Chains A and B, each alone.
Chain A
Amino acid sequence: MKVTNLTKEGCDASRLEMGRTKGWLLAAAAAGTLSACVQVSAPDRPIVINLNINIRQEVIVRLQDDARRLIENNPGVF
């Protein structure tokens, strides 16, 4: 999943890519003025979370004590 930084920039309505029907609405609304809009920029590297949807909830619960011990026994790794 991409991590996004939202930055607000004033930008011209004509720079927005919108469908024709939306376009004239926006142009009418923002005629002659700068409309504030957001510019989304993605970082160089997305942060990837790997979570198999098949993880079993009861197994997660059962493993909690072992997981806690794992962390306690390996402090430098966690």
Chain B
Amino acid sequence: MRKSIYLAAGIAAALLGAGAAMAMQDAAQLRASGVAAEKADGYLAATPRASGPQRDQVSAINIQRRQLYTSLAGQRGATIEEVAAATACQTFASRIAPGQQYVLEDGVVRTRNGNEPVPLPAHCR
């Protein structure tokens, strides 16, 4: 009886340790790791090299973004899509660091090459 309790405690500790090692990454860290790309519609895309937990984290961030977009849309008399698209203009202009990836309306995943300016989505002009 005692042995199985120690065994259970040991497994729990190991799982917690593993969980701590795989700390939740924010959007900037996911982009920096190459597992997420900014999309022209204002959301993040998981790239093929993203693991399952990383995809979940991308989804979680997108849900948060949609909540923020919805809230702002209500305040400003705009649609959620308009707020999302407008935010994408700013995200593309300011948040994509060198080496990070983005996806314009053509669906092609591109990497920012050094300090070259990121092309803005067409609706940003």
Binding site for B on A (CB under 8 A): 1-3, 43-47, 49-52, 54-57, 59-60, 62-64, 66-68, 70-71, 74-78
Contact = CB atoms under 8 A, between A and B. Distances in A.
Given A59-B86, A60-B85, 5 more contacts: A51-B123, A60-B82, A60-B89, A63-B78, A63-B87
Return the 8 tightest CB-CB contacts between A and B, nearest first. Answer: A1-B107, A63-B86, A76-B26, A67-B87, A52-B81, A67-B90, A67-B86, A60-B86
Interface residue tally on B, bucketed by range: 35 or more
Interface of B: 26-28, 37, 39-41, 43, 45, 48, 61, 64-65, 68, 72, 76, 78-79, 81-83, 85-87, 89-91, 94-95, 103, 105-109, 121, 123-124
